[in-house]
Structure 1
Amino acid sequence: MLEKIYIYHTNDLHSHFENWPRIRKELQRRREIHEQRGESMFLFDVGDHVDRFHPYSEGTMGKGNVKLLNECGYDGVTIGNNEGITLSHEDLMELYREARFDCLVANLFFEDGSRPPWAKPYRLYETRRGTKIGVIGVTINYSNFYRPLHWVAGDPFAELRKWLPFLKEQADLIVVLSHLGLSEDERIAQEFPEVDVVLGAHTHHVLERGKEIGQTLLCCTGKYGMNIGRVELAFDPEKKKPVRKRAMLIATEGLAEAEGEKRFVEQLEEDGKKLLSAPVAKLPARLKSDWFRETELNRLLCKALTEWCKAECAFINAGILLDDLPEGIVTEYDIHRICPHPINPCTVSMKGAALKEVLAQMAEDPYLTLALKGFGFRGEIFGKMIFDNIQISGKGASAEIRINGAEIEPERRYTVATLDMLAIARFYPPIMRAEKRFFLPEFIRDVLKWKLQTMFPLPEDD
């Protein structure tokens, strides 16, 4: 008699908690149904559940997300880049301390090559009828970001080559939790036909009925909890192999409203605000933000970046600041509210000739009204380019450009501070190709906080 095995999965919630009450309610309902039928159900998250754009995740450093996963009864998770490179080494070490599930990530190591105690490469799960499911997790190896945090993110495919032969011997079914993206999931299916199911993430792809490549079923739910993924496996215990694999998505929008769901979302926001209530500075007047003009606030941030990175000059896009800062006491929450992005400070080293070309393009503001998503940006519009210690007169190839008042020298190498997204995205290709240094774990808002504390310190009685 065939055994039916059910696997439910989520990915890339990014702390968009508005759908979480319905996800929790539906998973609880499904679990009760499977238990009544004597069927086996497993539940996995494939990373980027944490996103520090939300004040609750910021205030708890992701531990609030782990609490929610515990309450839902997850069996295992892998980490995404938001867990891996937006938390300090110490905070990631603490993140899963209270977890009641397995954290499966085969390609993350300490600098000495050992594994963190909370990270297992794989786990063997067993169904009610004794079928063994080998589950292994891998995450995208952004080495340039992991290295400054004192982690080594290894080649995920090297780890799969290492562990899959062992799992093939020990397990009846193999599942990969892959926070690598769709193209890499396809590669997994092509290179490792012994893998039965790949639960995907990272590129936010939506596979409504899954995608079969050979004998491997690829699955992914999109992002933000818009869907719950469900995989049904029909396993033949005599032949020791699955005879049927089906994938489907359960749209949370179509689920019945969970009791108190609006209040749940409001409460997380309130909890985050309380956790971030510490005062930082006291402003004598309102500091205004404007995506399309220079203001005191965006100039202040750009100058702070030059100073903090010990660079010669800096540039940022004005859209990085979402709102004004009010007169009076400014709290951690206020700074997070106007600069929620998980974006790090960065310096690029460029020769004057290449830098002049880039600055001439920036002066034209080609992305002024661009609606931007991705690269860690959690705002709406790219906005005007803002400069510090950079003077531009004229336009195009004839523009006169000075750094700290001196005409730019074509062969001299300059150190320029900026946002990591401007260094890794394709807005200005010469910056992408330039030598870079990323500053982690600090975010841009930490630089803003530092500058405000310096310029507008709290009175002693505050």
Structure 2
Amino acid sequence: MEKIHLYHTNDVHSHLENWPRIHQFINQQRQQHLAAGDEFFLFDIGDFIDRWHPLTEATKGKANIALLNNSRYTAVTIGNNEGVNLPHSDLHHLYDEAHFDILLANLYQKNGEIPDWAQPYKIYQTKSGTKLAVIGLTANFSQLYTLLGWKGTDPFLEIKKRLKQLKQQADIVILLSHLGIRDDERMAEQFPELDVILGAHTHHVLENGKLVNHTLLGAAGKFGYYVGHMTLELDEQKSVMNKQATLYEVDKLPAVENEREQIQSYLDTGKDLLKTTVTSLAHTLDSDPFQETELSHLLCQAVREWCQADCAMINAGLLLGPLTGEVTEYDLLSVCPHPINPCVVELSGEELAKMLVESMDDSLHHRQIKGLGFRGTVIGRFVYDQIHFRSGCIFIDNEKIVRNRTYTLALPDMFTFGHFFKDVLPGKEKRYILPEFMRDILKWKLEN
């Protein structure tokens, strides 16, 4: 039987503290399998970059691509951290120096053409002539992609129109899917022609894979905690006779010589690249998740001004520390590492008042959240600009709120993704302001 080994990573999110062991393990496995005469392929399923890490932020992800090159990846697809957390130009040039294939079937330029740095799929051939068709798909944040100058399309429609062609060209069809576990399961149910789906996005862990119909799903969690491995065994007619999946826990892999020094060097290099001074403060600007401070109000004011809205609200938990003395770009990244953009919604006075009352709930302030771009711990209390509370009444720009008047409210986009203010925000049109993150707007305010 022919043996084909598929290794995969996903959602590393620039957790480079795990990278030395991953790199060493991958190289050792490659040598072992090739020495045995087997086939070896290595894929990343997106969100390899995350701009919380200073090296990623300073290089807009290009340092991460160098790591993938060094580990000799076969191909990657993109996640939302590559796709919607980089300005158009930075994504366009992210893979300029890549030594691997970028497979992506559902992202186009505005004119409908495939970006010149990507291809929808590729056919790989083993030494014995077995052909593997590998196609990539990413989560379709179509509204955000449009704002950034791209065109995202429905991944199900894209694979449906290509699957017959892939089956004609190849013996095995593999999907690199940054869609999430539910969509992966739907893909397997709707398209039994898929032999393997390597998954990502929802950070799910499939220790021994998951068989849905005839399709084997694999996924390796998040942050480089695992490396995934699938083994396919084929008979002489190139039919898959056996397929198995497993995960390797990275913290149980052998340590790497000078491991701590390597990890520290990633941080130090990034810090050095971000040492440009933004401003010099005459006094310290403190942060406190449960108190309004000068710094939190400054950011809230900046968000309102940047968005040209009637009023604004932010959560104080966005700011993870104080600013003092000479403030560098690294300082701004440290206190505000989130890939969170501002958003503007139109609300009636009645809706706005309802939302503001809910925002004052102390249990909400202490709520811990993960995901949605948030890189802190607790939401914290809400801070407002051009919103005041006096004698049991709400005032917008010093005028008592009018029940049927329309107001524009600027707020962090994390609150618009369906988890908060469910009686007001769902169904409302949202205007996302891209590509600036909160720290970019704070930088603008401090410079001015």
> Fold conserved (TM > 0.5)?
yes
For the 8 Å contact 1:365–1:385, the answer to whether it is kept is: no
**Structure 1 letter corresponding to 2:279:** A
**Structure 2 letter corresponding to 1:318:** A
Matches within 5 A, 1:369-408: 369-393=366-390, 399-408=392-401
Q: Secondary structure, in 3 states, of the residue corresponding to 1:367?
A: helix
Q: Which residue of the other structure, out of 291, 297, 300, is the alignment partner of 1:299?
A: 297
Shift of 1:435: 1.8
Q: Which residue of the other structure, out of 343, 359, 363, is the alignment partner of 1:362?
A: 359
Are 1:414 and 2:395 matched, yes or no? Answer: no
Shift of 1:76: 0.2
Match of 2:427 in 1: 433
Shift of 1:431: 2.3
Match of 1:274 in 2: 272
For the 8 Å contact 1:233–1:242, the answer to whether it is kept is: yes
- How far apart in 2 are the matches of 1:26 and 1:129? 26
- How far apart in 2 are the matches of 1:365 and 1:179? 36
Shift of 1:164: 1.0
Q: Secondary structure, in 3 states, of the residue corresponding to 1:120?
A: coil
Match of 2:437 in 1: 443
Shift of 1:264: 1.1
- How far apart in 2 are the matches of 1:363 and 1:254? 45
Matches within 5 A, 1:48-87: 48-87=47-86
- How far apart in 2 are the matches of 1:276 and 1:257? 30
**Structure 2 letter corresponding to 1:368:** H
- How far apart in 2 are the matches of 1:23 and 1:361? 45
- How far apart in 2 are the matches of 1:433 and 1:410? 19
1:315-341 CA-to-partner distances (Å, cap 9, x unmatched) read: 000000000001x21111110110000
Q: Secondary structure, in 3 states, of the residue corresponding to 1:431?
A: coil
Are 1:353 and 2:346 matched, yes or no? Answer: no
- How far apart in 1 are the matches of 2:132 and 2:62? 28
Please, what is the CA RMSD of the aligned residues? 0.9
- How far apart in 2 are the matches of 1:214 and 1:268? 43
Identity over aligned residues, as a percent? 49
Shift of 1:366: 3.1
Are 1:256 and 2:277 matched, yes or no? Answer: no
Match of 2:140 in 1: 141
**Structure 2 letter corresponding to 1:245:** K
- How far apart in 2 are the matches of 1:424 and 1:5? 40
- How far apart in 2 are the matches of 1:18 and 1:264? 8
**Structure 1 letter corresponding to 2:296:** N
For the 8 Å contact 1:279–1:330, the answer to whether it is kept is: yes
Deviates more, 1:365-374 or 1:35-44: 365-374
Match of 1:162 in 2: 161
Q: Which residue of the other structure, out of 240, 243, 246, is the alignment partner of 1:245?
A: 243
Shift of 1:192: 0.6
Match of 1:458 in 2: none
**Structure 1 letter corresponding to 2:381:** K
- How far apart in 1 are the matches of 2:403 and 2:70? 59
Q: Which residue of the other structure, out of 336, 340, 350, is the alignment partner of 1:343?
A: 340
TM-score by length of 2: 0.99
**Structure 2 letter corresponding to 1:412:** R
Shift of 1:425: 3.7
- How far apart in 2 are the matches of 1:274 and 1:66? 19
Matches within 5 A, 1:24-103: 24-103=23-102
Q: Secondary structure, in 3 states, of the residue corresponding to 1:119?
A: coil
Q: Secondary structure, in 3 states, of the residue corresponding to 1:422?
A: helix
Shift of 1:380: 1.1
Shift of 1:433: 3.0
**Structure 1 letter corresponding to 2:142:** S
Shift of 1:369: 1.3
Distance 1:360 1:242, change over 3 A: same
- How far apart in 2 are the matches of 1:182 and 1:214? 15
Match of 2:172 in 1: 173
- How far apart in 2 are the matches of 1:435 and 1:194? 38
TM-score by length of 1: 0.96
- How far apart in 2 are the matches of 1:359 and 1:393? 13
Q: Which residue of the other structure, out of 272, 283, 289, is the alignment partner of 1:285?
A: 283
**Structure 2 letter corresponding to 1:451:** K
Match of 1:313 in 2: 311
Shift of 1:393: 3.7
Match of 2:417 in 1: 424
1:58-80 CA-to-partner distances (Å, cap 9, x unmatched) read: 00000011000000010000000
For the 8 Å contact 1:59–1:272, the answer to whether it is kept is: yes
Match of 1:460 in 2: none
Shift of 1:365: 3.3
- How far apart in 2 are the matches of 1:107 and 1:221? 23
- How far apart in 1 are the matches of 2:157 and 2:375? 33
Shift of 1:35: 1.4
Shift of 1:113: 0.4
Shift of 1:410: 1.2
Structure 1 runs not aligned, ≥5 long: 455-462
Q: Secondary structure, in 3 states, of the residue corresponding to 1:244?
A: strand
Match of 1:219 in 2: 218
1:384-404 CA-to-partner distances (Å, cap 9, x unmatched) read: 11111101246xxxx411101
Q: Secondary structure, in 3 states, of the residue corresponding to 2:251?
A: helix
